Amino acid sequence: MGIYVNPSDVSFEMSRNSEIYVDKSMLIAQTNRVCRTERRFLCVSRPRRFGKSMAANMLAAYYSRGCDSSRLFSGLAIEGEESFLVHLNRHNVIRWDVQRFLESKSGYDRFINDIEDMVIRDLKKEFPECGDFPEGSRLKTVLDEVYGQTGQGFVFIIDEWDCVFRMAKKREEMQKAYLDFLRGLFKGAEYVDLAYMTGILPIKKYGEHSALNIFEEYSMLDSAELAMFFGFTEEEVHGLCTSTGMDFQDVERWYDGYLMNGIHIYNPKSVVDAVRRGKCKSYWTGTETYEALKVYIDLDFDGLREAVVGMLGGARCRVDATTSQNDMTTFKTKDDVLTLLIHLGYLAYDEDTEEAFIPNQEIAQEYMRAIKVGGWGGLTEALNCSEELLRSTWALDGEAVAAGMSAIHGETASLLKYNNENSLTCTVLMAYYSAKAYYMNPIMELPSGKGYANVVYLPKRDTARPALVVELKWNESAQGAIAQVKDRRYAAWIADYTGDILLVGINYDKKSKEHACVIEAWRKTHGEG
């Protein structure tokens, strides 16, 4: 048993001994399926504190010849799998954490050499029969020799694989040397039984091509069959809430929202802290300040701020993730920035629609902090007026809503290019920011009757609030907006799902720079539906 070769199972034992442990052992069934096959190279990327290291520790404990881990897997789901005993503690494991080497005394300049030296040192102890290897031997050469003499392959587990790209953002030569090291270590290597890498960022791209194309990637953009193994599923969170007496809906509002392969995923660190302490608040984001988020949303790309404002209001933003180079410095468009925020966990992503959105209250709070110190053209003040504007809407006070819209426009004139209906939509989403406490996320361009309603807010369960059908006009009239809603039967589409419905018509006159608003109650007695 060594530190890097055939390690012990102590780290996984600590997880199993924890007050709260959620069984993710079926990940092993997935890795067993690809072990010693052409698909044996896996790279899993998730935001920080999403259970990546715990999974790596579990895999090391399961495969390592350096320990007997059967007791740690007793009662876990994987125990019932046919492949469980086939691979249990039957492989040579090589495991390292890149961050530890980057933070060592020798630091950036020698970290690759340090990795090789430490692993080779352990290999000499583990395989004395293979003789002493010459000073300065490369790791690949040593592994080839061991495999040639013993016929035994290796399971590689690399944690924080992407640390180089996060800690040494601008040292391109070092990054390339690191990628060359990994490529040389794995490509065409018969001694690899399984190679499992995990980190925050997917594999670096140069242009359209992956720097390590032998790896199959499971990221926040495409999690495929590994979706449920990182983060907590809704069922798992519901179970924790039931056993601890926590309010599930409260936990859901704060920590749900990540959507992976159709599965709702919760931030596990935040859920565990909330359950242990009996209180929902921001836990995950406390491990890194809002300043990190501020750096990215303050980048000067056309449409970026409008996208953030819209998502704060509950809207979604279409993202082209194909141009991202999967690093923290190469940004050419707002899509590149938004893609990075998805990987960092500051945005969720819907694979089916290719849209990004702010997942939950915890993350929304971080955006508000970042905006507050970022000088975002009075946005904070505008959002603070949202609750009053929402109550004016319920009261059918169109004049108050129009005045509120004008005030918000005045606060954010430097932020938004207020020259078309799209920018008006952003203002509306800001104005109704407080609606998220009572309504589901707004539906944009809802197909209804004979056309599309601009924005529709459907109330949450048990809120007893009316649905809102909002129609926007530019240089026309608010009454004309209401007439269009009625003529095209926008409200009829949702009549079966809600009680009362409010029709909200908003117009902006570019010449006078004034807003107008008309609000009417719509019920089934109007003869629609």
Q: Judge whether 270 and 283 are in contact, CB under 8 Å.
A: yes
CA distances (Å), 510 to each of 399, 400, 455, in order? Answer: 18, 19, 21
Residue 523: the pLDDT is 66
Q: How far apart are the first and last CA of the chain?
A: 72
| Kind of pairing between the strands at 92-97 and 209-210 | unpaired
pLDDT truncated to tens, each residue of the chain (529 aa)?
Answer: 789 999 999 999 999 999 999 999 999 999 999 999 999 999 999 998 899 999 999 999 999 999 999 999 999 999 999 999 999 999 999 999 999 999 877 778 899 999 999 999 999 999 999 988 888 889 999 999 999 999 999 999 999 999 999 988 889 899 999 999 999 999 999 999 999 999 999 998 887 767 889 999 999 999 999 999 999 999 999 999 999 999 998 999 999 999 999 999 999 999 999 999 999 998 876 545 567 788 898 887 888 888 898 898 888 899 999 989 988 888 999 999 999 999 999 999 999 999 999 999 999 988 888 887 777 867 887 788 889 999 999 999 999 999 998 888 877 777 777 666 667 788 888 888 888 888 888 887 654 444 445 788 989 877 889 999 998 888 889 999 899 888 877 767 776 665 788 999 999 888 888 899 999 998 655 444 4
Q: Where are the extended beta strands (E) located within 207-363? A: 209-210, 216-218, 232-233, 258-260, 263-266, 317-318, 348-350, 355-357
Q: Which of 355, 372, 389 is the last residue of a domain?
A: 372
Question: Is there a single domain that holds both residue 367 and residue 383?
Answer: no
Question: Is there a single domain that holds both residue 471 and residue 493?
Answer: yes
Question: Is there a single domain that holds both residue 147 and residue 266?
Answer: no
Residue 448: the pLDDT is 44
CA distances (Å), 474 to each of 64, 317, 420, 508, in order? Answer: 66, 22, 7, 5
Question: Is there a single domain that holds both residue 337 and residue 434?
Answer: no
* Domain membership flag for residue 363: yes
Question: Is there a single domain that holds both residue 360 and residue 381?
Answer: no
Residue 380: the pLDDT is 80
Q: Which of 354, 372, 390 is the last residue of a domain?
A: 372
CA distances (Å), 37 to each of 41, 81, 148, 196, 508, in order? Answer: 9, 19, 19, 13, 62
HSE value, Cβ hemisphere, 13 Å, CA-based, for 466: 21
How many domains are there within the chain?
3
* Domain membership flag for residue 223: no
Question: Is there a single domain that holds both residue 455 and residue 342?
Answer: no
Question: Is there a single domain that holds both residue 472 and residue 352?
Answer: no
* Domain membership flag for residue 4: no
* Domain membership flag for residue 341: yes
HEC sequence for 232-257? EEHHHHHHHHHHHCCCHHHHHHHHCC
Q: At what angle do helices 290-297 and 361-372 cross, to 10 degrees?
A: 70
Question: Is there a single domain that holds both residue 63 and residue 146?
Answer: yes
What's the CA gap between 183 and 63, in Å, rounded?
A: 23
* Domain membership flag for residue 475: yes
Where in the sequence is the domain holding 312, given as residue range(s)? 230-372
Three-state SS for 325? coil
Q: Judge whether 358 and 364 are in contact, CB under 8 Å.
A: yes
* Domain membership flag for residue 5: no
Residue 397: the pLDDT is 96
Q: Which of 372, 401, 429 is the last residue of a domain?
A: 372
Residue 421: the pLDDT is 64
* Largest separation between any pair of C-alpha atoms in the chain: 90
What's the CA gap between 312 and 347, in Å, rounded?
A: 11
CA distances (Å), 173 to each of 106, 165, 177, 249, 328, in order? Answer: 17, 11, 6, 49, 15
Phi, psi of 173 (to 5 degrees): -65, -40
Q: For residue 462, count other CB atoms closer than 10 A to its CB.
A: 7
Question: Is there a single domain that holds both residue 80 and residue 103?
Answer: yes
Question: Is there a single domain that holds both residue 196 and residue 321?
Answer: no
Question: Is there a single domain that holds both residue 392 and residue 515?
Answer: yes
* Domain membership flag for residue 116: yes
What's the CA gap between 90 and 193, in Å, rounded?
A: 11
Residue 32: the pLDDT is 98
Question: Is there a single domain that holds both residue 120 and residue 184?
Answer: yes
Q: For residue 429, count other CB atoms closer than 10 A to its CB.
A: 23
**By C-alpha distance, which of 462, 371, 475 is closest to 419?**
475
| Bridge partners, residue 356, by sequence | 317, 349
* Domain membership flag for residue 3: no
- The region, left, alpha or beta by phi > 0 then psi within -120 to 50, assigned to residue 192 is beta
